[in-house]
């Protein structure tokens, strides 16, 4: 087993990885910016190294500083967490060149799945259903022919995109060229790649994703699905597992297709294959080659520690679980706790003056904040995740209601009140919400 791992991240995910390492008897090295000197992951790690000033670009995205830290501290591996450099092909390549193990897929697979057009082709070749689309956006005749076939609306997407950046929905044909140009500009700015493509825009889909684990020995398992349809501006807010809409036959069919595709390309590590689901049909969107923010709900219903599995796979071990061993038991819901105003969503950095997190059977809090901690203004506003688990969905919702009432964070604004309103809504309780739910809910509540 690895003796020492550098955690190339911050906040709750850095703490989550650190705890998994400690349980495996692995020493940890935390990196941090000037602004995170008092962060919990820094306090709890065996070693810590400052990699730069407060801005993410100068610290958590500073590849030379991170690699220098790794070589100085003589680590065996680097875990990137999620966000930051977790899906950066060049970062993984440099780690490989330094004979340090990247806890994740190879740089080749990161590049392969990071290109949405190529990823889509791979899925088509393996029989995975995809959203109809075209990638030749410079051919007006082909675009017109495509629109005639699928009808408006269509959506323009960045090939290297994510998080809703480089996306434009087009409802009128006369707006198409202007929208393509705007998507290209945003894509270039966000991902240094202005390649975009066009897809049919599904109007009322669910966002369903399949969790996979794959080792270097050709073994692949799927761990059920997560429903991530409650989103604001393409950013997930509440996730649950399993979906109350899928039948066991639908789950088995899509899981088998994902398993086949992952096995075909020889992927290694944890990954998530994301779909839109409408009228009983799945449509592949993209694959994330990293740990997801919402991984805890899968852990709760399967009993499998995904971070531990990631580390052991990277260390060359065979998966200890087989597909027939995996049974989804009970129900789990996750609410992302953000330091922001619950109505206008303006970020709310500042010092936490009072802090009390909920507890009890079936309650899990993944967070790195504490009373007296000052939340920096330089990073994402998510400060924690509240996860509940119960035998069924109804009991899980009841636990979440109670846990949100018990959660006290003073000194800053949070979105706890928004979560309380959402989980009490008839749409959420029925489970019949889609990705448009939150925008309508905020408009009419």
Q: State the Cα–Cα distance between residues 258 and 58, nearest whole angstrom.
A: 37
Helix, strand and coil percent figures for the chain, each rounded to 5: 35, 25, 35
Per the listing, tokens 């739910």 go with 437
Cα distances from 81 to residues 78, 103, 311, 313, in angstroms, run 9, 9, 11, 15
The whole-angstrom separation of Cα 60 and Cα 37 is 13
Q: Is 31 in contact with 7 (CB distance < 8 Å)?
A: yes
Beta-carbon contacts of residue 73 (< 8 Å; ≥ 6 apart) = 4, 6, 29, 47, 49
Distances (CA, A) of 244 to 103, 228, 298, 394, 437: 32, 12, 14, 11, 16
Among this protein's residues, is 290 annotated catalytic?
yes
Tokens of 129: 């259903």
Provide the b/e sequence for 61-83 (b: ≥16 CB within 10 Å): bbeebbbebbeebebbbbbbbbb
Spatial contact of 4 and 28, defined as CB atoms under 8 Å apart: yes
Q: State how far the Cα of 428 lies from the Cα of 432, in Å rounded to an integer.
A: 7
**Nearest by Cα to 81 from 106, 52, 102, 111:** 102
Cite the beta strand spans of 101-167 per DSSP E: 101-102, 133-134, 154-158
Catalytic residue among 10, 16, 168, 290: 290
Q: Evaluate whether 368 touches 40 at the Cβ level (below 8 Å).
A: yes
- Residues in contact with 19: Cβ distance below 8 Å, sequence separation at least 6, in sequence order: none
Tokens describing residue 209:
């994703």
CB atoms within 10 A of CB 287: 29
Which residues have a catalytic role annotated? Answer: 290
């Amino acid at each position: 087993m690895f003796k020492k791992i550098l955690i190339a991240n911050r906040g709750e995910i850095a703490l989550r990885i650190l705890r998994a390492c400690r349980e495996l008897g692995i020493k940890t090295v935390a990196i941090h910016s000037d602004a995170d000197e008092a962060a919990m992951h820094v306090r709890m790690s065996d070693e810590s190294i400052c990699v730069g000033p407060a801005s993410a670009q100068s610290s958590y995205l500073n590849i030379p500083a991170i690699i220098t830290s790794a070589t100085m501290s003589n680590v065996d591996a680097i875990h990137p967490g999620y966000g930051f450099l977790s899906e950066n092909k060049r970062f993984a390549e440099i780690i490989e060149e330094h004979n340090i193990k990247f806890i994740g897929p190879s740089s080749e697979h990161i590049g392969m799945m990071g290109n949405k057009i190529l990823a889509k082709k791979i899925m088509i070749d393996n029989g995975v259903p995809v959203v109809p689309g075209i990638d030749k956006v410079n051919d007006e005749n082909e675009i017109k022919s495509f629109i005639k076939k699928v009808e408006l609306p269509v959506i323009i997407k960045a090939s290297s995109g994510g998080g809703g950046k480089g996306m434009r929905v087009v409802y009128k044909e006369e707006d198409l060229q202007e929208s393509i140009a705007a998507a290209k500009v945003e894509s270039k700015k966000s991902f240094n790649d202005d390649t975009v493509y066009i897809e049919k825009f599904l109007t009322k889909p669910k966002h369903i994703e399949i969790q996979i684990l794959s080792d270097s020995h050709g073994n692949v398992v799927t761990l059920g699905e997560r429903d991530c349809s409650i989103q604001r501006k393409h950013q997930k807010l509440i996730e649950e597992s399993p979906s109350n809409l899928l039948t066991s036959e639908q789950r088995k069919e899509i899981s088998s297709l994902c398993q086949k595709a992952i096995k075909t390309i020889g992927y290694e590590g944890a990954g998530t294959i994301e779909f839109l689901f409408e009228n009983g049909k799945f449509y592949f969107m993209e694959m994330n080659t990293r740990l997801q923010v919402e991984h805890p709900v899968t852990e709760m219903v399967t009993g499998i520690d995904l971070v531990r599995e990631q580390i052991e796979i990277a260390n060359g071990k065979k998966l200890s679980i087989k597909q027939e061993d995996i049974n989804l038991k009970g129900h789990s819901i996750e609410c992302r706790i953000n330091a922001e105003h619950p109505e206008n969503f303006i970020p709310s950095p500042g010092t936490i003056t009072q802090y009390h997190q909920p507890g009890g059977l079936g309650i899990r809090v993944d967070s790195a904040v504490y009373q007296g901690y000052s939340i920096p203004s330089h990073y994402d506003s998510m400060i924690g995740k509240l996860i509940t688990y119960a035998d069924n969905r109804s009991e899980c919702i009841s636990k979440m209601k109670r846990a949100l009432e018990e959660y006290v964070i003073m000194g800053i604004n949070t979105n706890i009140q928004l979560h309380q309103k959402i989980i009490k809504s008839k749409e959420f309780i029925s489970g019949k919400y889609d990705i448009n739910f939150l925008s309508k809910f905020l408009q009419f509540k």
